[in-house]
Structure 1
Amino acid sequence: MFWFMQGTCFLPTFLVIWSSSTFIISYIIALFQRDVDVILPYISDTGATPPESCVFGFMSTITAFAAFATMYAEYKFVGRVHERTGSVSPRLNKVSFGFGVVSCIGMCLVATFQETTVMPVHDLGALLFFVSGVIYTFLQSVISYRGLPYECPKSVCCFRVFFSGLAAIAVIPTIACAIPVGTSKLHWDTSDKDYSLHIASVTCEWITTFSFVFFFLTYIREFQQFKLKMTVNLTEYS
């Protein structure tokens, strides 16, 4: 049996590969279309105009559903493992999953409402995605440490703390530097007034996003340990 077929390992594996491809493919298409600058456009800029907007919207929506499926599987796994040990409270597990769901909803908004068409909704979606995503990774890091040694090795916990901390640090300038700029233009020049703020915000946005990607990469080994089964209960009506 191949390693990615063990347990439910295919979920985080698919999420990591697909999400990375989403950002990279959209960037390459937008670059060849000359719709964005070569140096550090916003991720949303790479999906602002057709045809890359169609690709970005389609692939980002699938990414959001893949992320939801992965988070749900982790939620069920944590609940099952610790229902007897009591090391992780069910409330903490539910809160963490709740922030994960909000982050997925934010990604769907970003994918559906381009920044050049409905900017307020797009910005709201981005805010939900980044802030809720950071909180989710932080809470999952706490759960991982509380769950030792039943879930993942301590080295994996350390990696989760590192990536969640990196995302938390990077998301602050992502938002703080974007607010004073307040524009959705796709092309920038070094002589522009807010160019430095723009570059700082964009750099931190890419760091935050790929911190999420690498965080889910740490799920792969853990997901090899379990499988999910669906149970259908039929109710007879008289």
Structure 2
Amino acid sequence: MLERYLLQMGRIGAGHLPVLFSINFVAMLVITYSFSVWRGDVDPVFPYISASGDSRPESCIFSMFLNVCAFFIALIVILRYHLVAELLSQNSDQEEDPLISLTNRLSLFAGLLGGVGMFIVANFQETAVIQIHLTGLWTSLPLSGCRVDSSYFTYVLSSLVFKRI
């Protein structure tokens, strides 16, 4: 229900969600880095992202912002999945490409798993439980990188969408 509502939000659609994600992520990096350097908790030259959000109170700010980012990632992935599925179902003059459907489902799974990894990174600090933190990190980074397949979808689906206009 939410997906259908967000897909029909007029001209802007759900296009504002990646912008909100980016603003939130950059704000998280700037705020936690600045606060950590100001308190002397990290090296100002080349700190790890997780190290800047490792001690209190930076860890609270880091966790809060990164949880919001993980929510945005999950929402964007779900909406993108439904958008691609809807565009494929509207294309009745051509048979459905099983590769696109499979890739769409796999990217949904990979994106949601990447969002879960981001939740894990946000809630398990590096010095508290390093194994779980690194598991979340190595779940989040590669699987979020799999979202590059959106460019493939955009390329394939643009011919379907612009053919109807």
TM bin, normalised by shorter chain, reads: 0.7 to 0.9
CA spacing shift, 1:124–1:9, aligned 2, 3 Å: same
Match of 1:106 among 117, 136, 159: 117
One-letter amino acid of the counterpart of residue 27, structure 1: Y
Tell me the alpha carbon deviations over residues 144-172 of structure 1, each in whole angstroms, 9 at most, x when there is no partner: 222233469xxxxxxxxxxxxxxxxxxxx
Higher mean alpha-carbon deviation, 124-133 vs 14-23, is at 14-23
CA contact (8 A) 1:144 1:151 kept: no
C-alpha separation between the residues in 2 aligned to 1:151 and 1:124? 39
| Whole-angstrom CA distance in 2 between matches of 1:10 and 1:65 | 14
Q: Which residue does the alignment assign to 2:69?
A: 63
Post-superposition Cα deviations, 1:95-134, rounded to whole Å, max 9, x if no partner, equal 0111000100100010000011100000000000111111
CA distance in 2, matches of 1:64, 1:15: 9
Deviation at 1:141, TM superposition (A): 2.4
Same amino acid, percent of matched pairs: 27
> For 1:42-76, what per-residue CA distance to the aligned partner results, in whole angstroms no more than 9, with x for missing partners?
11011000010000001100110011111111111
Give me the CA root mean square deviation: 1.8
In proportion to residue count, which structure has more helix?
Answer: 2
1:47 to 45, 53, 66: 53
Cα distance in 1 between the residues matched to 2:103 and 2:120: 26
- CA distance in 2: counterparts of 1:34 and 1:51, whole angstroms: 13
Q: How does 1:57-136 map to 2 (within 5 A)?
A: 57-83=63-89, 84=91, 85=94, 86=96, 89-136=100-147
- Mapped partners of 1:148, 1:73: distance in 2: 17
CA distance in 2 between counterparts of 1:133 and 1:54 reads 23
Q: Which amino acid aligns with 2:121?
A: V
Flag structure 1 segments of 5+ consecutive residues without an equivalent: 153-238
Q: What is the aligned length?
A: 147
Task: Compute the TM-score of the two structures, normalised by the length of structure 1.
Answer: 0.58
Q: Give the alignment of 1:85-234 within 5 angstroms.
A: 85=94, 86=96, 89-137=100-148, 139-150=149-160
What TM-score, normalized to structure 2? 0.82
